[in-house]
Amino acid sequence: MEETVFKKLITVSAGVVLASGLAACGSSSDSGSGGSGGSGDITMGFAQVGAESGWRTANTKSIQASAKDAGIKLKFSDAQQKQENQIKAIRSYIQQKVDVIAFSPVVETGWDTVLQEAKRAKIPVILTDRAVDSSDKSLYKTFLGSDFVLEGNKAGQWVVDNAATNDVNKDGKINVVEIQGTTGAAPAIDRKKGFEDKISADPKIKVVASQTGDFTRDGGKKVMEAFLKSQKDIDVVFAHNDDEGLGAIEAIEAAGLKPGTDIKIVTIDAVKDGMTALSEGKINYIVECNPLLGPQLMDLAKKVVAGEDVPARVETKEGEFDQEQAKAVLADRQY
């Protein structure tokens, strides 16, 4: 039901897209302040990555709900995973003279020009969820999000700690196939690195194939289908998010194998669908990545607009889950 509301929002916003000069570059929408937080004067332009995953949908809802609660007027756009759309959205927020711009950069590089434009217009920028790779740290006020290297570390450590059971084919080698997130995105780069850093401790563990699934279920399914054809002995799948892991499950089942048993699966995010698969034993381990960034983002926005100092980096707290832990928390999972 919540999903329907989300889809409607995207559809309803089509008219606004044309009106704000963002034609053919994703969708955007405006929403009134409505809240009672007393900051009704602040307008935030938020350039979202897209709606590629369960994580992203939960993140969008969190931002929209928290803006309302904080009394911040939100202009929201969905870039459909394209950097050019995000750049257009940010330029239109600059033109509209919003008070603060927040965005989750689809890839790490290529932002300096548009961020300089925001700086010249004296509009503060907050990076949420994903970082940019820029040497000029004055182009944004702060970063709010997760430590993706640590997430990759945790996934890698789990493969190492459970080497005996992860050697499904019992040949003394643990062959891992990796389904990467969006090429060039901070979480894809950092999770890959964090994972490799940990598995390098055990020479039995090797990544034998690695490809991008673009953080989508369909992408994960297609990549896994190809891996099942090209690789003989797959012991473990490391998927950079739950959705890709869920797509891999479909491919594994279609090949007549049992996910979680014939091939072990470790993913990152811990959204409800992923946690359900974990509780059913189809995924073996999930590292949490928290999408509920809205409340912290609105707090930071108020401070930045008021000219207050904020920390350069604000990290979210996260855990990890095995099957029993997933069963215990599933019923109360919001997203």
Give the single-character DSSP code of 316: P
Give the C-alpha separation, 71 to 44, whole Å.
11
For the record, the structure tokens of 268 come out as 């990152």
For the bound state, the minimum distance from the C-beta of residue 220 to ligand GYE, rounded and expressed in Å, comes to 11
Give the C-alpha separation, 268 to 148, whole Å.
10
For the record, the structure tokens of 59 come out as 């993140």
Q: Taking contact as CB under 6 A, which single stretch among the options 11-19, 47-55, 162-170, 304-312 is the one that binds ligand GYE?
A: 47-55
3-state secondary structure of 7: helix
- Contact flag: residue 108 with ligand GYE (CB under 6 A): no
Give the single-character DSSP code of 173: -
Do 253 and 280 contact (CB within 8 A), yes or no? no
- Contact flag: residue 103 with ligand GYE (CB under 6 A): no
For the bound state, the minimum distance from the C-beta of residue 162 to ligand GYE, rounded and expressed in Å, comes to 22
**Which residues between 271 and 300 bind ligand GYE (CB under 6 A)?**
289
For the bound state, the minimum distance from the C-beta of residue 41 to ligand GYE, rounded and expressed in Å, comes to 30
Q: Between 53 and 77, whose beta carbon lies closer to ligand GYE?
A: 53
3-state secondary structure of 175: strand
- Contact flag: residue 130 with ligand GYE (CB under 6 A): yes
For the bound state, the minimum distance from the C-beta of residue 174 to ligand GYE, rounded and expressed in Å, comes to 24
3-state secondary structure of 242: helix
For the bound state, the minimum distance from the C-beta of residue 55 to ligand GYE, rounded and expressed in Å, comes to 3
Choose, by CB under 6 A, the member of 45, 187, 194, 294 that binds ligand GYE.
187
**Which residues between 221 and 250 bind ligand GYE (CB under 6 A)?**
241, 243
Alpha-carbon torsion, ordered 208, 211, 216, 219, to 10 deg: -100
What residue ranges bind ligand GYE (CB under 6 A)? 52-53, 55-56, 129-130, 187, 215, 241, 243, 268-269, 289
